[in-house]
Structure 1
Amino acid sequence: MAAPADYNLLKPLRALLEERSVTRAAARMHVSQPVMSHHLSRLRAHYGDVLLIRRGNRHTLTPLAERLLAALPQVLAEADQLFQLQGRFDPVTSTRTFTIAGVDYAVARIAPALSAITAREAPNVRFEFPPVDARLVNGFPDSMRTIDAVILPHGYLVDQPHVDLPLERWVCLVDAAAGVSEEPTVDELLTRPWVQNLAAREDMNPARRQLQFRGIEIAVAAVTPHFFVIPSLILGTDRVAAVPEGLAAMAITMHPRLRAFSPPLDLAPVHDAFWWLPDREHDVEHVWFRRLLRRVAESVI
């Protein structure tokens, strides 16, 4: 019969696999080398695998160790989240960390209201904002186990609990010196190279997806996962990009030579929302968090 699992070994296991050295893992965990060697012996006995293989003056991971290393960050994050759960929640004294995934512009859009409310009412609560990427969207729901909410447009997620953010229209952004007419036609824009924000699915943002559904293809000259990099990729060129109106206003404030105008096509507006997993329904901390998101959504312009 296998020995019962000792969950206290999870953090030493991660340190050993990431450092690939008993000495460095011991220093990282602030324990002695004999203690870390003992942890490694117990882990090897538990898994029936050496985990670390010496090759010359360094160690490499066994195939099982590689699999364990890939799984450990999420496992440890879920364990930390589990131990943070409380039967009661006082935002004034809480030091809970909430995680909201989103692209840079989406986070910037909610940040003023979120920061103002929490500074007054939950001064010790922390927020982390990991970026949205294809792995998160395509790996749903497992990828959301360690995330409290994600900001995504409708269509990327469906049939999940959410709070809608105000709609925002698309505008086109160009360098004012690029020779675009006052009321450019579709053909005029299509002859120009485009800058695209790399979205989380199908390598295109919602605006480009709408164009493609109408049979319109654009020539993409540059792609970035960061909305706030788009203006820099337009300045001094004849490029064009479709961006949310709020981002265009920020960009023009920073770079007055940029110009924004309504696209000659009728594009459905940006329809972002906060999304979360339904299994958080009775988590008292998440109940407060969802109320906070609703207040933030009401305050966003």
Structure 2
Amino acid sequence: MTDSPLMSRLDLNLLIALDALLTERSVTRAAERLRLSQPALSASLARLRVHFGDPILARRGNTYELTPLALRLADHTTIALEAARRVFESQAEWDPAESVREFSIYGSDYGFTTVGRVVSELAAARAPGVHIRFMLHNPTVVEDAANRLRSADGMVIPHGFLTELPFLDLWKDDWVAIVAESNEEVGDSLSREELSRLPWVMNYQSRSAFTSAERQVQQLGIEPDVEVVVESFLAIPHFITGTRRVGIIHAALAPLAMRAAAVRVVSLPFEPTPVTNALWWHPVHNQDPEHAWMRSLFQEAGRIVAAGEGG
């Protein structure tokens, strides 16, 4: 006999209650969220406290705070609950046209406005009940991708950030530089001297968050004068309009940038390495026919974007 309770003795409803308590940090709000009475949820909290040997919620004055253990449980609980949901939503036969499944995808605004938008259009036409939730990633999510992708369906991100996960190449894209239409210091192309002298708008700037083009600039011995860091590709043109600043964006975003702001595309003084955009997922989804259908949508959408038909 082991001292740990057997899985067969555990109640899955406790996982649902725990997730609500960790999210709401209040018995009252968690009960309202689950549409339960407060005494019923209090009873669940009591069982959880016995199971973990921890209060989970500790009173601090007029409020409750999560205990250190509860804070550690937060991410694990969300992942476990999502995994359980997927298990019980699985079907022997699956018809996309009849499905109401929601797929969750991490990515950047660049990925969402290119391949993501096309995927949403394909899904709407073929499976009107299917929903796709696009969630912005960040350096923390990318660094923890192997864990996060257990409960999410995928991540759209170029090669160079993730390893040892299944992936599907979608399309390749180039880099272009943009400056303000009013910038008379720059002609049709940028020189290395101008890249060094002019102020920059950069997207990310840390050891774990960077673009390959920005890394190439530094490898050429140019240390950019970074005036603005904005974690959004679509926002970069707005920080360049009417200034001396320069920025580098994906070629697929150039038409959007010029429609959204008073900027123009100029050539770079080096040949930027193209990016290969890919969809990544956790191996737990490999044999899921619904997930395979979703992957096929991304593959088709990647071909559309590569052909320039997704603008």
TM over 0.5: yes
Alignment correspondent of 1:245? 251
Q: 2: distance between equivalents of 1:167 and 1:279?
A: 27
Do the aligned partners of 2:102 and 2:130 also contact (CA within 8 Å) in 1? Answer: yes
Q: 2: distance between equivalents of 1:79 and 1:38?
A: 22
Do the aligned partners of 1:163 and 1:297 also contact (CA within 8 Å) in 2? Answer: no
User: Structure 1, residues 2-43: CA drift from partner, whole Å, max 9, x if none?
Assistant: 552222111212323333333332222211122122112211
Alignment correspondent of 2:95? 90
Alignment correspondent of 1:209? 215
Q: 2:190 aligns with which of 164, 173, 184?
A: 184
Within a 5 Å distance, the mapping from 1:279-298 to structure 2 comes to 279-298=284-303
Structure 1 residues 14 and 161: CA distance shift in structure 2, 3 A: closer
Aligned-pair identity (%): 39
Alignment correspondent of 1:144? 149
Q: 2:46 aligns with which of 41, 47, 55?
A: 41
TM-score normalised to structure 1 length: 0.92
Shift in Å at residue 241 of structure 1? 0.4
Do the aligned partners of 2:102 and 2:131 also contact (CA within 8 Å) in 1? Answer: yes
Structure 1 residues 27 and 234: CA distance shift in structure 2, 3 A: same
Q: 2:66 aligns with which of 61, 67, 73?
A: 61
Structure 1 residues 295 and 201: CA distance shift in structure 2, 3 A: farther
Shift in Å at residue 128 of structure 1? 0.7
Q: 2: distance between equivalents of 1:75 and 1:104?
A: 28
Structure 1 residues 69 and 111: CA distance shift in structure 2, 3 A: closer
Q: 2: distance between equivalents of 1:208 and 1:12?
A: 46
User: Structure 1, residues 22-78: CA drift from partner, whole Å, max 9, x if none?
Assistant: 333222221112212211221122122222233333323322222223432222222
Alignment correspondent of 1:155? 160
User: Structure 1, residues 214-269: CA drift from partner, whole Å, max 9, x if none?
Assistant: 332211111111111101110111000011112121111223x3110121111111
Alignment correspondent of 1:228? 234
Q: 2:10 aligns with which of 5, 11, 19?
A: 5
Structure 1 residues 112 and 14: CA distance shift in structure 2, 3 A: closer
For 1:193, the aligned partner's letter is P
Structure 1 residues 208 and 11: CA distance shift in structure 2, 3 A: same
Do the aligned partners of 2:195 and 2:222 also contact (CA within 8 Å) in 1? Answer: no
TM-score normalised to structure 2 length: 0.89
Alpha-carbon RMSD across the aligned residues, in angstroms, is 2.0
Q: Structure 1: which 5+ runs fail to align?
A: none
For 1:55, the aligned partner's letter is R
Q: 2: distance between equivalents of 1:8 and 1:214?
A: 57
Shift in Å at residue 93 of structure 1? 0.2
Q: 1: distance between equivalents of 2:207 and 2:159?
A: 12
